[in-house]
Amino acid sequence: MLDATKFRNLVSGRRRGVTAAVWRTLFRMASLPYGAAVAWRNRQFDTGRRPIQRVDVPVISVGNLTVGGTGKTPMVEWLARWFRAQDIRVVVISRGYGAEAGAQNDEALELEQKLPDVPHLQNPDRVAAAHTAIEEFESQLILLDDGFQHRRIERDLNLVLIDALEPFGYGHLLPRGLLREPVANLRRADAVVLTRADAVTPQVREQIRSQIEAWTGSAAWIEVAHRPVALRDHAGREAPLDSLAGQRIGAFCGIGNPAGFRHSLAAAGFELVELREFPDHHAFDGRDVASLDRWLQTLDVEAVVCTHKDLVKIGTAQIGRYPLWALQIGIELISDPEPLEARLRSIAAAVGDGGATGRPDDAA
């Protein structure tokens, strides 16, 4: 059984040897029908065989090309706060991946704590959810969380997030790599956001930008850093980062890109002893808590840190005798914000005019 870490080691090429080569060959073969299905589906929308529906308010999509965490939730939070500051009623819509029937998934629970005045609707039928947002919540703007591959709703701004640590999914479609669809499909993007840009050198950032511009043309380019801002416990109390200064910590995460969390822990200045990785969207239970307790006891640590996404699921204030904290992450635009904010102002003005911006082209 391949867990997330072993899978990444295989598709990245870090794991070597005959067995690894066989796995990569099998993955490459499996990626062929996957790629054909993705191409066929996109062609249906490109040619109009599948309709793209416009709703009555502006729509902004936040998505990515790869599986795993690129920082969509902090970006959705940032956008929601930007529009709420303009007194615009916002609703977040997502598919609800990883949620049990009738329950919210981890991203929804996280955003609910951070944005209590922004409703979050989860529905595989996001067109139906959009109508609900408009009719029942009187939404003036819809944020589609993880919406790049969802093409049924036309959008006024298509944001695609690229993680600076894993920008192109190791160059292959699933399952040989991490790409959900070919990089050339970035042509549908209106803006590309390079997340965790501070984790790589300016030269690497420029190299990534040059590669992306070959596909996106005039799309806006934005670079953001993910900054640790505070610690949060299960009761919602916050503490400054330096409250763990000088303490040895263990950490765990169940997210798509553990390397991003490791980078954030280092940026917070924590003395990390070991990071334990779980699969993305892992549903923690009592056995996991007991296993984590036993693991922590072998490390000689004083506290344990996880992501906010994990904290809302694990449902405990401490693991054994170790206090449990979530690392709160915010984003900071470190490149010129005007290419993005000009588009946001245009959409905000359309809300004031009482409708969507009415883009003539298909950006869905």
3-state secondary structure 53-120: ECCCCCEEEEEECECCCCCHHHHHHHHHHHHHCCCCCEEEEECCCCCCCCCCCHHHHHHHHHCCCCCE
What H or E segment, with its residue span, contains residue 290?
Answer: helix 286-297
Tally of domains in the chain:
3
Domain for residue 53, yes or no?
no
Domain for residue 360, yes or no?
no
Q: Output the pLDDT for position 100.
A: 58
Q: Output the pLDDT for position 83.
A: 97
- Residue type, position 18, single letter: V
Which CATH number covers residue 221? 3.40.50.300
Q: Are residues 337 and 322 in the same domain?
A: no
Q: Are residues 38 and 142 in the same domain?
A: no
Q: Are residues 97 and 221 in the same domain?
A: yes
Domain for residue 51, yes or no?
no
Q: Output the pLDDT for position 356.
A: 52
Q: Calculate the alpha carbon distances from 293 to 94, 108, 253, 299 in Å.
A: 33, 27, 15, 10
Q: Output the pLDDT for position 360.
A: 36
Q: Output the pLDDT for position 142.
A: 98
Q: pLDDT tens-digit profile of 176-199? A: 999 999 999 999 999 999 999 999
Q: Are residues 101 and 237 in the same domain?
A: no
Q: Are residues 82 and 219 in the same domain?
A: yes
Domain for residue 184, yes or no?
yes
Domain for residue 358, yes or no?
no
Q: Which residue ranges in the chain fall short of pLDDT 50?
A: 358-364
Q: Output the pLDDT for position 357.
A: 53
What H or E segment, with its residue span, contains residue 261?
Answer: helix 258-267
| Residue 33 domain boundaries | 4-46
- Residue type, position 78, single letter: W
Q: Are residues 207 and 305 in the same domain?
A: no
Q: Are residues 127 and 71 in the same domain?
A: yes
pTM as predicted: 0.88
Which CATH number covers residue 233? 3.40.50
